[in-house]
Amino acid sequence: MVIITYLLPALAFASSAIAQCSNAATLTITASADASVLAACTTYSGSVAIPTGLATPQDTNGHQQLSVDGVQVITGNLTVTNAIMLSSLSFGDLKSLGGFELGSLTVLSELSFPQLTQVSSMNFTALPALQQMSFGGTGITQADSVLITNTGLSSLQGINNLQSVSTFNVNNNAALQNISLQVTSIKNSLDIEANDGYVSGLTTTFPMLQTAQNMTFRNCSSVLLPSLANVTQDLGFYGNTMTSFAAPNLTTVGGLIFVDNTDLTNISIPGLVSVNGSYQIANNTMLKQINGFQKLSVIKGALDFNGNFTEVDLPALTQVQGAFNMQSSGQLDCSAFEADSTTKQVIKGHYVCSGSVSKPGGAGTSASASSTSKPTGKSSAGHIEANFPAVMGGTSLIAGLLQLIL
Ligand SMILES: *[C@@H]1O[C@H](CO)[C@@H](O)[C@H](O)[C@H]1NC(C)=O
Ligand SMILES: *[C@@H]1O[C@H](CO)[C@@H](O)[C@H](O)[C@H]1NC(C)=O
Ligand SMILES: *[C@@H]1O[C@H](CO)[C@@H](O)[C@H](O)[C@H]1NC(C)=O
Ligand SMILES: *[C@@H]1O[C@H](CO)[C@@H](O)[C@H](O)[C@H]1NC(C)=O
Ligand SMILES: *[C@@H]1O[C@H](CO)[C@@H](O)[C@H](O)[C@H]1NC(C)=O
Ligand SMILES: *[C@@H]1O[C@H](CO)[C@@H](O)[C@H](O)[C@H]1NC(C)=O
Ligand SMILES: *[C@@H]1O[C@H](CO)[C@@H](O)[C@H](O)[C@H]1NC(C)=O
Ligand SMILES: *[C@@H]1O[C@H](CO)[C@@H](O)[C@H](O)[C@H]1NC(C)=O
Ligand SMILES: *[C@@H]1O[C@H](CO)[C@@H](O)[C@H](O)[C@H]1NC(C)=O
Ligand SMILES: *[C@@H]1O[C@H](CO)[C@@H](O)[C@H](O)[C@H]1NC(C)=O
Ligand SMILES: *[C@@H]1O[C@H](CO)[C@@H](O)[C@H](O)[C@H]1NC(C)=O
């Protein structure tokens, strides 16, 4: 019965290996031995955590490296937090993962996942030494949510081939110079903020992006959205240093907001027909002419503009459901909007329009004129007869005709 004494341990080993490839609790790796258990599994059903206090050898700097090969799929999360001496983390064969969380890894500078293409979520928080990610050839193409905050990353190489994403939030990465994503839709929200700590500006490009629910851009030096067709909630720009913004294919948007973009001189959204929420332009100090909205017809919320502009052209406007507030420290001719508010009844809400205001304010503030000088700027609203055939078409033709009748 010599055979049995051989077989039993072998079976015992096999079954324990299978058991270890599936774990309802989280597998915690603190030493190489734990890592080798994982290495024996092609698919690991469960979550893996690498916490502080790794029992792996330290190099002369006291730094630790961890490398796990073999495992291709982890169905749960991989969470690596507070391993403050971990300088290098590598999963050589891992292709797919649930949540991927790296947090407070002070010296982590090498991240190598050369096969990884799919994660359900990514949360990279407080990784000051991490300058680049290595996710192999195409990088990660599928992720439901991405949060990258407080890292040393200078580019998003490794995730810039994402095809679609629900939530994308990249903030406070002081060395980041460039965000370029191939996504076609943002199902939930996009937030880009305060990534300009060390560099002169963050450029952002979304060449394929067509639809989004909500987008917020702060502190960017350029934002390119050439394919964007519609945004269901808000599209907001705050404190960016871009000099111009254009969205040539955008037709509808929930809310549209431009605040504190101090270098902005030109906004061009020539195909925009409806703003289903509010439309705010405030404190863009260099913006003198607001004339890139040739087709804007319907504003379902309020129109709230204040600044130092001298010209506002909204030639296709047929309806402003909410309040209308337009205050400028520049010389502004309000007569076209006056008519929209009174005889044409295009503007349904409370109407304020005033140029040469000493402190132009937002909706709800009163406009106090600093001088009574005659305005020299020009503005237009409603329907200029001369442009009638060119401007009108489709539903706005009907709306325009109705207006002529009324
Ligand atoms: C994985 O992480 C996500 C997001 O942090 C969490 O909602 C989920 O419950 C985690 N799943 C497991 C199996 O721990
Ligand atoms: C991301 O991870 C950090 C720390 O690791 C945690 O505090 C934070 O709640 C996580 N955020 C999300 C959205 O999961
Ligand atoms: C931004 O990154 C993309 C992809 O990494 C690259 O092709 C592009 O040249 C970069 N643009 C700038 C302005 O650095
Ligand atoms: C803009 O829309 C037009 C018409 O739908 C389309 O042909 C064109 O490819 C779009 N441009 C971009 C850059 O997506
Ligand atoms: C958004 O744009 C897409 C592509 O142009 C179009 O199919 C869809 O109907 C639009 N949705 C809305 C609400 O306008
Ligand atoms: C905006 O409202 C119009 C008219 O109600 C509707 O056709 C369009 O789908 C709405 N757009 C969005 C992006 O919700
Ligand atoms: C949607 O975008 C607006 C403006 O950009 C922002 O103020 C708001 O917080 C965003 N909402 C969500 C849920 O992301
Ligand atoms: C980033 O933009 C915000 C406005 O959204 C502004 O208050 C802040 O000063 C800007 N930060 C930098 C570093 O420009
Ligand atoms: C504003 O930008 C649009 C689109 O890029 C361009 O066609 C137009 O000439 C610009 N206007 C001015 C005054 O520069
Ligand atoms: C514009 O600037 C004024 C003066 O600094 C400030 O009171 C106001 O809140 C700003 N408006 C917005 C929308 O940020
Ligand atoms: C408005 O712009 C003019 C020049 O176009 C400038 O002289 C004036 O100081 C500006 N006023 C404010 C309040 O920014």
Residue spans of the domains in the chain: they are 258-406
pLDDT in tens, the chain (406 residues): 444 333 333 333 443 444 479 989 999 998 888 888 888 999 999 999 998 888 888 899 999 999 999 999 999 999 999 999 999 999 999 999 999 999 999 999 999 999 999 999 999 999 999 999 988 778 999 899 999 999 999 999 999 999 889 999 999 999 999 999 999 999 999 999 999 777 678 999 999 999 999 999 999 999 999 999 999 999 999 999 999 999 999 999 999 999 999 999 999 999 999 999 999 999 999 999 999 999 999 999 999 999 999 999 999 999 999 999 999 999 999 998 998 888 878 999 999 999 999 999 998 888 765 544 444 455 666 533 323 332 233 333 333 333 333 3
Q: Which amino acid is at 353?
A: C
User: Ligand 11 center to residue 309 CA distance, Å?
Assistant: 9
**Using a 6 Å cutoff on CB, does residue 330 contact ligand 11?**
yes
308 pocket-lining for ligand 11 (C-beta < 6 Å): yes
Q: Among the atoms of ligand 1, which is closest to the Cα of residue 121? A: 4
Report the relative pairing of strands 164-171 and 220-224 from DSSP bridges: unpaired
- What pTM was estimated for this model as a whole? 0.88
Considering every ligand atom, which ligand is closest to the CA of 178? 3
Here the tokens at position 35 are 């890592």
- With a 6 Å cutoff on the Cβ, whether 185 touches ligand 9 is no
Q: Is 288 in the pocket of ligand 9 (CB under 6 A)?
A: no
What is the reported pLDDT for 384? 35
pLDDT at 8: 37
Question: What residues contact residue 200 under an 8 Å CB cut-off, 6+ apart?
Answer: 221
Q: Which of 252, 278, 295, 395 to mutate to test the pocket of ligand 6 (most atoms within 8 A of CB)?
A: 252
Ligand nearest 249 Cα, by number?
4
Q: Do the beta carbons of residue 331 and residue 406 sit within 8 Å?
A: no
To test the ligand 1 pocket, which listed residue (77, 78, 97, 102) has its Cβ within 8 A of the most ligand atoms? 77
Q: Are 278 and 255 in contact (CB under 8 A)?
A: yes
Measured from CB, residues less than 6 Å from any atom of ligand 1 are 47, 76-77, 98-99, 121
pLDDT at 381: 66
**Greatest distance between any 2 Cα atoms in the chain:** 111
Q: Closest ligand 9 atom, CA of 289? A: 13
* Pocket probe mutation, ligand 11, options 264, 289, 329, 373, max atoms within 8 Å of Cβ: 329
**How far, in Å, from the CA of 162 to the mean position of ligand 4?**
21
- Helix/strand/coil (H/E/C) assignment for every residue in the chain: CHHHHHHHHHHHHHHHHHHHCECCCCEECCCHHHHHHHHCCCEEECCEEECCCCCCCECCCCCEEEEECCCCEECCCEEEECCCCEEEEEECCCCEEEEEEEECCCCCCEEECCCCCEEEEEEEEEECCCCCCECCCCCCCECCEEEEEEECCCCCCCCCCCCEEEEEEEECCCCCCEEECCCCEEEEEEEEECCCCCCCCEEEECCCCCEEEEEEEECEEEEECCCCCEEEEEEEEECCCCCEEECCCCCEEEEEEEECCCCCCEEECCCCCEECCCEEEECCCCCCEECCCCCCCEECCCEEEEECCCEEEECCCCEECCCEEEEECCCCCCHHHHHHHCCCCCECCCEEEECCECCCCCCCCCCCECCCCCCCCCCEECCCHHHHHHHCCHHHHHHHHHHHHC
Structure tokens at 100: 């991927």
Residue pair 49/20 in contact (Cβ under 8 Å)? The answer is: no
Residue 256, amino acid: L
Which residue, by CA, sits nearest to atom 13 of ligand 6?
A: 232
Q: Whose CA is nearest to atom 5 of ligand 5?
A: 229
Rg (CA), the chain: 28
Q: Check if 226 has its Cβ closer than 6 Å to any atom of ligand 4.
A: yes
- Ligand 7 and 233: CB distance under 6 A: yes
